[in-house]
């Protein structure tokens, strides 16, 4: 057995999602704010392209050169970055891109720093692949993000650092100056950066910067799941520094072969329909404003300053130190499904909740009302 | 960098496939017998189900309970085995099932035995995940399969053994008595068996036995790619012993999340259309007969006795000791693309070729004719 098997935790979000789905099957209403999944699907025109590809194209092993080119173009459009299509490695979701990148970059037993709170699969994949996650305790004073000072203080230097900006669960972004400083610190200390840019495209303020603007030797992982609303299509990619392309392709061919063929057709079409997708982001922005206005009035005042993604990470330590049970109770009483911070932070997570607002604005308003009534009733109880 | 990076080899099949595709783009004819991919696609009715699901079903994260149940039923139908649907773990192809199984079962640095010749991803995934593949030299005297005696002779005992029956590249199957004996040897020595049953369903003689009939503690990996002709859909599964279900699910959730949603809909429909799929197997059987009759007349007499899969593995050591160059030359001269044995056997593979006959019978006949003319011309040259 893998000696780290006990360290790979299940997602509480999955448990809460299961309870929510059972509730729904019993005919009770549910608002799904527990999982990181847009309630919208891929653009209608992309689904049409899917029908056409299903009718006209063979569904054999395939890597879409056109999609790699289109993604390389995205880096020019979004960030002004020259990326060659050969540097784009299509993968089965950001998950496979991450597994692949970690498997290639590090020797077994190496230490890789990850922010806490952070996406649990980052530390769990490190455990699963025989590496040692080094959690960086990131509190509200640094916007729940690591700093160059934290990186410099690590002794000995880790082999790698995984960054997520905007972050899951907090939605906070690393400021440009900090991105620059972190890159410099990592370069000095020979720390390889993996930048998980899953939430780029879902931004509420100034544009997101790619780590590649500062550190061209970083590996970027990304996905069609979030901005493009294509979770179940399982398609992502890595942007690979030229010197690593050959070894990454060799590993990809052995570990995974190629990503799903039809998903590549659909994604290519989806990339031409930004208007529909930006409409979803506008909905998230409205939902975010509603929540940011309403939660303080309900006594939830410590909320991470989310610059992007579709999450609010809120401190509910004045209400509970067991936010998993709190979420179960809320779901049971109201049908509003949120997630516990324990998925993201094994130390302080019991004081936190994550609210995913990639739902409709009506649902957001209903959730606020239900939460308010429930909190009021608990106060009286 | 992963210290084993240099040991993870690229597939020669991919190189030969690239040359073949370039040739095709230049308008020259090609017969693709270099890759392990059926030339047919999923059943027509399954594609129709795909259109329906694309129209009517959300394409979010999803695990099909119905598909797990249908697969559990397959083990009752095919092998008379009681498998609970909870033991079926749906994955992104057999590739992800294998990565997952290896990541869960073994401590880093553990030794895992694999037959040589064998599917290259088996040993390469072991390298990539920090394990040590232990190649078992399997020649024609044991039908290119390992034996219980070989397992017993390993000192110290390895932590695991990967079996593939029918084998890729040879198509040979382990006889029932040997399956039983290997299971006993592994049980005695506490060796965990991973059984890659990718080619079950494509059998030319007596039915294939699942390793689970003998060793219920084995992990079986399988895929919709081959019998169901769904390569580009990237859907496979693992059958997991009950005590491992929890840890396998935790790893799967972290490493991969879930497999593609639409693929699950299509696969479920495909499972009801065995007649169309068995028709393809009948074509392979015809192609196999043609090749087995024709090759000896062309001087290729040492062919592995393929019981299943859609490969012939032939010794061409009397013609070349560099079968990669030989395949390049054949492709260049005739458009017939075969694969070198070097993908499967780094020691003796230069004497071998693998012929994938999952093509039409017309193509098979043409390939035989072209190969014959080419060999004749070379003899005269």
Peptide bond into B169 cis (omega under 30): yes
Q: What is the CA radius of gyration of chain A?
A: 21
Task: Encode pLDDT of A35-87 as tens digits.
Answer: 999 999 999 999 999 999 999 999 999 999 999 999 999 999 999 999 999 99
Summarised one tens digit per residue, pLDDT across range B341-359 is 999 999 999 999 999 999 9
| Residue-level pLDDT at B381 | 82
Contacts within 8 Å (CB) and 24+ apart, B315-323: B315/B140, B315/B351, B315/B352, B316/B351, B316/B352, B316/B353, B317/B351, B317/B352, B319/B375, B319/B378, B320/B350, B320/B351, B321/B350, B321/B351, B322/B350, B323/B349, B323/B350, B323/B351, B323/B352, B323/B353
Partners of B230 on chain A (C-beta within 8 Å) are 59
Q: Tell me if B92 and A262 make a contact (CB, 8 A cut-off).
A: no
Quick one: tokens of A360? 């409709």
For chain A, percent of residues with pLDDT exceeding 70: 100
> For A9-18, B232-241, B302-311, B360-369, which range has the lowest pLDDT when averaged over its residues?
A9-18
Query: pLDDT tens, B170-183?
Result: 999 999 999 999 99
Confidence (pLDDT) at A341: 98
CATH 3.40.640.10 domain span(s) along chain B: 3-41+274-376, 60-270
Question: What DSSP string runs through B291-302?
Answer: HHHHHHHTT---
B233 CA: distance to closest CA in chain A (Å): 5
Q: Which fold has domain A60-270?
A: 3.40.640
**% of chain A surpassing 90 pLDDT:** 97
pLDDT digit string, tens, across residues A99-122: 999 999 999 999 999 999 999 999
CB contact under 8 A, B8 and A231: no
The interface predicted TM-score of the complex, written ipTM, equals: 0.96
Helix axes B44-56, B261-270, angle to 10 degrees: 140
Question: With contacts defined as CB-CB under 8 Å, which chain B residues touch A258?
Answer: 232, 234
Per-residue pLDDT band at B9 (split at 50, 70, 90)? confident
Nearest chain B residue (CA) to A264: B232
Q: In this complex, do B231 and A10 lie within 8 Å of one another by their Cβ atoms?
A: no
Q: What is the pLDDT of residue A381?
A: 82
Mean pLDDT of B200-214: 95
Q: Is the pLDDT of residue A9 over 90?
A: no
Domain A3-41+274-376: give its CATH architecture.
3-Layer(aba) Sandwich (3.40)
- Both tokens assigned to A45: 């025109």
Q: A10: pLDDT confidence band, cut at 50, 70 and 90?
A: confident
Rounded to an integer, the average pLDDT of A347-358 is 98
Mean pLDDT of chain B: 97
A contacts of B232 (beta carbons < 8 Å) = 58-62, 258, 260-262
């Amino acid at each position: 057995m893998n000696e780290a098997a006990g360290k790979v935790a299940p997602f509480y979000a999955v448990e809460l999602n299961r309870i929510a789905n059972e509730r729904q099957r019993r005919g009770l209403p549910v608002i799904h704010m527990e999982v990181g999944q847009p309630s919208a699907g891929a653009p209608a025109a992309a689904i049409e392209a899917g029908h056409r590809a299903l009718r006209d194209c063979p569904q054999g092993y395939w890597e879409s050169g056109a999609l790699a080119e289109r993604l390389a173009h995205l880096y020019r459009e979004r960030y002004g970055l020259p990326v060659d299509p050969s540097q784009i490695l299509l993968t089965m979701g950001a998950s496979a891109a991450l597994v692949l990148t970690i498997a290639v970059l590090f020797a077994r037993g190496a230490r890789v720093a990850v922010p806490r709170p952070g996406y649990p699969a980052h530390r769990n994949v490190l455990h699963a692949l025989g590496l040692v996650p080094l959690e960086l305790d990131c509190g509200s004073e640094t916007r729940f993000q690591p700093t160059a000072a934290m990186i410099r203080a690590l002794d000995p230097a880790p082999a790698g650092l995984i960054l997520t900006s905007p972050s899951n669960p907090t939605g906070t972004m690393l400021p440009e100056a900090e991105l620059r400083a972190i890159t410099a610190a990592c370069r000095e200390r020979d720390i390889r950066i993996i930048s998980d840019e899953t939430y780029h495209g879902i931004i509420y303020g100034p544009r997101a910067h790619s780590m590649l603007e500062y550190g061209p030797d970083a590996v970027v992982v990304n996905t069609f799941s979030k901005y493009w609303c294509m979770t179940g299509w399982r398609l992502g990619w890595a942007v690979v520094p030229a010197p690593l392309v050959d070894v990454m392709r060799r590993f990809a061919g052995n570990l995974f072969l190629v990503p799903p063929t039809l998903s590549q057709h659909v994604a290519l079409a989806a990339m031409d329909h930004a208007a529909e997708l930006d409409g979803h982001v506008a909905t998230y922005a409205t939902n975010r404003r509603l929540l940011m206005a309403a939660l303080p009035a309900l006594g939830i005042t410590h909320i991470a300053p989310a610059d992007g993604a579709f999450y609010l990470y809120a401190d509910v330590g004045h209400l509970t130190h067991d936010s998993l049970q709190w979420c179960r109770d809320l779901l049971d009483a109201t049908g509003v499904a949120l997630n516990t911070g324990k998925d993201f932070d094994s130390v302080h997570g019991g004081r936190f909740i994550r609210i995913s607002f990639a739902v409709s604005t009506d649902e957001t308003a209903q959730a606020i009302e239900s939460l308010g009534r429930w909190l009021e009733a608990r106060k009286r109880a």
